């Protein structure tokens, strides 16, 4: 079944000739990326070109912006997609001069480009002309140098300034109206789910402006992956991006990109194992999202957060049986998985069925009883933290956040991979656009994941014993051809988790860029929170379900 792993590379329905004709002289040259055709344009025609593509060719989704340094130039690649059909992809490549790396900003065409370009400026050093707020985003403001460039000296000392927190009332009150004040939420604050800093400006109790300040957990994941060899050394790191037990999904993102790059076919049996593992991970991640969200809106250690953690423990037990670890699974290998279902197989199947068919429906009843049917909870969440679909698309929100705004996109169905196309399940959407919808989408996705796991268990149980192939033949050292590029994504627990890799002919990637769903989803926070009360800001933040490891990478 060759259709399983390799989705068609040629985007069907995209008339590339029409694009060329419309863009005319703006097309300097073309190139082929594994996932999409690439069009090279001039650095001062970015805004114009992207506006045409957005308005006339329906490329309403800027999935990722990856910047890199090449021996003779700097390059920014805008990975365009369509929300209606994410397999229609187009890469816009913008080369810039080595001496003066200045490129026109796309932030006025796609809101999401704002953060992506700040990151590119921070790590690579490309300057974006016309960018509304071009300053460092992941590293401290006082950092010197751009670390993902070749001439960066890592041993050079750095100084990080730390201004003492002054009385915000004195220092930040605007001269002309004494009404607003700035409060810092985080970086150490129980409601920020880790180390996030929100600069919130309040007028009385309403939020007039909020700016997420990230980078408190920027632990150089891209550098680590660029140092590792494809075959084994990269795989442990994805577990540490979205560490809310979504490890197998993250590993799959890397595996999918690298397998496309090296042309590896994954056996069907391994695909089922991957699918089952990924859905167990999704359940664990959504339980955590639910548990921490009720902590945010209800207060410390209430019953529901305990129940959510109890259910997580059960999933983690199953995942531990399967992979050997509770959180950092390192279960996938390029071309397959590390090992089969543990012996005795019947026991694993029984345990999983017990959880899926007996325990889970019961705890879902509890969730609906305590949470979603609860009048107080509804008062707190309905019509608050609204994210209209148009803005969700502009900010490239994906995953439950987008689906709760009525955007019907799920890569498991729309850009099929693994064993998902063969299974019977639904994509959950809700058009409430508010906090309540986002919570509901997650709760219902847990039920859908359970359906998938149940079907996988049946398949695994009936699979003939001599055809249990868990690993394809993969060369010991992988050296993809130089200058091949691929951007591949999977549906992570938080949304589209994409990996861009440029091979440089060696056994390590030349550039490894992670498109993090939580990063893009977090950038929608100002849309949700501005105008609401400060307490609703916390609820909105909780409903986005960020994991800082994935935001900062």
The footprint of another protein on residues 476-505 (CB under 8 A) is none
Place of tokens 């991640």: 285
What length is written for the chain?
553
Of the candidates 66, 245, 449, 516, which one interacts with another protein according to CB under 8 A? 245
Q: How far is the CB of 273 from another protein (least distance, A)?
A: 24
The footprint of another protein on residues 176-235 (CB under 8 A) is 187-190, 193-195, 215-221, 223-224, 227
| Contact yes or no for 456/423 (Cβ under 8 A) | yes
The nearer residue to another protein, 28 or 306, going by C-beta atoms, is 306
Q: Which string of x and - marks every residue 247-286 that binds another protein (by CB under 8 A)?
A: ----------------------------------------
Q: Which stretch binds another protein (CB under 8 A): 31-39, 160-168, 270-278, 450-458?
A: 160-168
Instruction: Tell me: does residue 142 bind another protein (CB under 8 A).
Output: yes
Instruction: Tell me: does residue 534 bind another protein (CB under 8 A).
Output: no
Assess whether the previous peptide bond of 187 is cis (omega < 30° from 0): yes
The nearer residue to another protein, 2 or 161, going by C-beta atoms, is 161
Residue 322 token pair: 């399967």
Longest dimension (CA), the chain: 78
Q: How far is 347 from 19, CA to CA, in rounded Å?
A: 56
Instruction: Tell me: does residue 84 bind another protein (CB under 8 A).
Output: no
User: What is the edge-to-edge ordering of all strands in the sheet holding 485-491?
Assistant: 485-491, 496-503, 509-515
Assess whether the previous peptide bond of 344 is cis (omega < 30° from 0): yes
The nearer residue to another protein, 130 or 187, going by C-beta atoms, is 187
Other CB atoms closer than 10 Å to residue 175's CB: what's the count? 5
* H or E element, residue 395: none
In 3-state terms, what secondary structure has residue 425?
A: coil
Instruction: Tell me: does residue 131 bind another protein (CB under 8 A).
Output: no
User: Is the sign of the CA dihedral 511, 515, 516, 521 positive or negative?
Assistant: positive
Residue 146 token pair: 């751009």
Of the candidates 2, 17, 151, 154, which one interacts with another protein according to CB under 8 A? 154
Of the candidates 25, 72, 151, 160, which one interacts with another protein according to CB under 8 A? 160
Instruction: Tell me: does residue 548 bind another protein (CB under 8 A).
Output: yes
In 3-state terms, what secondary structure has residue 250?
A: helix
The nearer residue to another protein, 17 or 162, going by C-beta atoms, is 162
Q: How far is the CB of 168 from another protein (least distance, A)?
A: 16
| DSSP class per residue in 489-547 | EEE-SSSEEEEEEEE-SSSSEEEEEEE-HHHHHHTTHHHHHTTSBHHHHHHHHHHH---
Q: How far is the CB of 509 from another protein (least distance, A)?
A: 16
Number of residues that bind another protein (CB under 8 A): 57
Q: How far is 253 from 548, CA to CA, in rounded Å?
A: 18
Q: How far is the CB of 199 from another protein (least distance, A)?
A: 14
The nearer residue to another protein, 27 or 224, going by C-beta atoms, is 224
Instruction: Tell me: does residue 354 bind another protein (CB under 8 A).
Output: no
Q: Which string of x and - marks every residue 279-318 that binds another protein (by CB under 8 A)?
A: ---------x-----------xx---xxx-xx-xx-----
The footprint of another protein on residues 7-26 (CB under 8 A) is none
Q: DSSP letter at 26? A: G
Where are any strands of DSSP class E within 289-381?
332-333, 336-337
Q: DSSP letter at 191? A: G
Q: Which stretch binds another protein (CB under 8 A): 148-156, 380-388, 424-432, 475-483?
A: 148-156
Of the candidates 125, 140, 168, 432, which one interacts with another protein according to CB under 8 A? 140
Other CB atoms closer than 10 Å to residue 399's CB: what's the count? 28
Instruction: Tell me: does residue 162 bind another protein (CB under 8 A).
Output: yes
Q: How far is the CB of 311 from another protein (least distance, A)?
A: 10
Q: How far is the CB of 323 from another protein (least distance, A)?
A: 14
Q: How far is the CB of 55 from another protein (least distance, A)?
A: 39
Judging by DSSP bridges, how do beta strands 336-337 and 509-515 pair with one another?
unpaired
Among 214, 192, 207, CA closest to 536: 207
Of the candidates 106, 113, 235, 244, which one interacts with another protein according to CB under 8 A? 244
Q: How far is 345 from 337, CA to CA, in rounded Å?
A: 16
| Contact yes or no for 493/285 (Cβ under 8 A) | yes
Instruction: Tell me: does residue 372 bind another protein (CB under 8 A).
Output: no
Q: How far is the CB of 185 from another protein (least distance, A)?
A: 12
Q: How far is the CB of 95 from another protein (least distance, A)?
A: 26
Q: Which stretch binds another protein (CB under 8 A): 72-80, 135-143, 204-212, 342-350?
A: 135-143
Instruction: Tell me: does residue 549 bind another protein (CB under 8 A).
Output: yes
Place of tokens 């955590």: 288
| Contact yes or no for 130/69 (Cβ under 8 A) | no
Query: Could you tell me which residues come within 8 angstroms of residue 153 by beta carbon, excluding any fewer than 6 positions away?
Result: 145
Site of interaction with another protein (CB under 8 A): 139-144, 147, 152, 154-164, 187-190, 193-195, 215-221, 223-224, 227, 236-237, 240, 243-245, 288, 300-301, 305-307, 309-310, 312-313, 326-328, 548-549
């Amino acid at each position: 079944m060759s259709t399983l792993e390799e989705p068609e590379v040629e985007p069907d329905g995209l008339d590339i000739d029409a694009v060329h004709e419309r863009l005319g002289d703006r097309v300097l040259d073309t190139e082929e990326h594994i996932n999409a055709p690439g069009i090279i344009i001039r650095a001062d025609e970015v805004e114009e070109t992207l506006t045409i593509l957005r308005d006339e060719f329906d490329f309403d989704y800027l999935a990722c912006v990856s910047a890199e340094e090449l021996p003779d130039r700097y390059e920014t690649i805008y990975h365009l997609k369509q929300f209606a059909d994410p397999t229609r992809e187009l890469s816009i490549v913008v080369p810039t001069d080595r001496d003066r790396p200045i490129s026109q900003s796309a932030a006025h065409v796609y809101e999401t480009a704002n953060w992506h370009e700040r990151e590119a400026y921070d790590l690579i050093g490309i300057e974006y002309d016309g960018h509304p707020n071009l300053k460092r985003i992941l590293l401290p403001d006082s950092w010197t140098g751009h670390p993902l460039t070749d001439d960066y000296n890592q041993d050079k000392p750095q100084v990080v300034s730390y201004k003492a927190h002054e009385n915000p009332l004195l220092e930040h009150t605007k001269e002309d109206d004494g009404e607003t004040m700035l409060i810092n939420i985080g970086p150490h604050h129980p409601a920020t789910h880790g180390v996030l800093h929100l600069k919130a400006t309040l007028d009385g109790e309403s939020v007039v402006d909020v700016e997420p300040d990230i980078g408190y957990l920027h632990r150089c994941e891209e550098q680590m992956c660029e140092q590792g060899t494809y075959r084994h050394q990269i795989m442990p790191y994805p577990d540490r991006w979205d560490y809310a037990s979504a490890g197998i999904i993250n590993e799959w993102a890397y595996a999918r990109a690298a397998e496309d790059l090296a042309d590896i076919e994954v056996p069907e049996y391994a695909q089922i194992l991957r699918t089952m593992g990924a859905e167990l991970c999704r359940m664990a991640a959504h339980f955590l999202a639910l548990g921490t969200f009720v902590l945010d809106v209800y207060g410390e250690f209430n019953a529901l957060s305990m129940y959510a953690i109890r259910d997580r423990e059960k999933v983690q037990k199953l995942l531990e049986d399967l992979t050997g670890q509770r959180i950092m699974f390192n279960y996938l290998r390029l071309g397959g998985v590390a090992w089969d279902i543990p012996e005795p197989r019947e026991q694993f199947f029984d345990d999983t069925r017990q959880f899926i068919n007996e325990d889970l429906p019961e705890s879902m009843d509890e969730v609906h009883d305590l949470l979603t049917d609860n009048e107080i909870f509804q008062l707190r969440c309905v019509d608050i933290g609204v994210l209209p679909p148009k803005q969700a698309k502009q900010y490239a929100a994906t995953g439950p956040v987008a689906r709760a705004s009525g955007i019907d996109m799920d890569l498991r169905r729309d850009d099929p991979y693994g064993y998902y196309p063969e299974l019977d399940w639904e994509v959950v959407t809700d058009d409430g656009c508010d906090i309540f919808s986002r919570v509901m989408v997650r709760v219902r996705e847990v039920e859908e994941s359970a359906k998938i796991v149940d079907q996988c268990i049946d398949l695994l149980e009936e699979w003939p014993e001599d055809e249990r192939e868990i690993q394809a033949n993969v060369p010991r050292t992988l050296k993809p051809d130089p200058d091949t590029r691929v951007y591949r994504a999977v549906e992570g627990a938080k949304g589209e988790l994409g990996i861009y890799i440029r091979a440089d002919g060696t056994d390590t990637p030349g550039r490894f860029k992670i498109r993090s769903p939580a990063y893009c989803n977090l950038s929608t926070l100002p849309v949700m929170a501005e105008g609401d009360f400060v307490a609703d800001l916390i609820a909105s933040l909780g409903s986005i379900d960020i994991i800082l490891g994935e935001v900062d990478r």
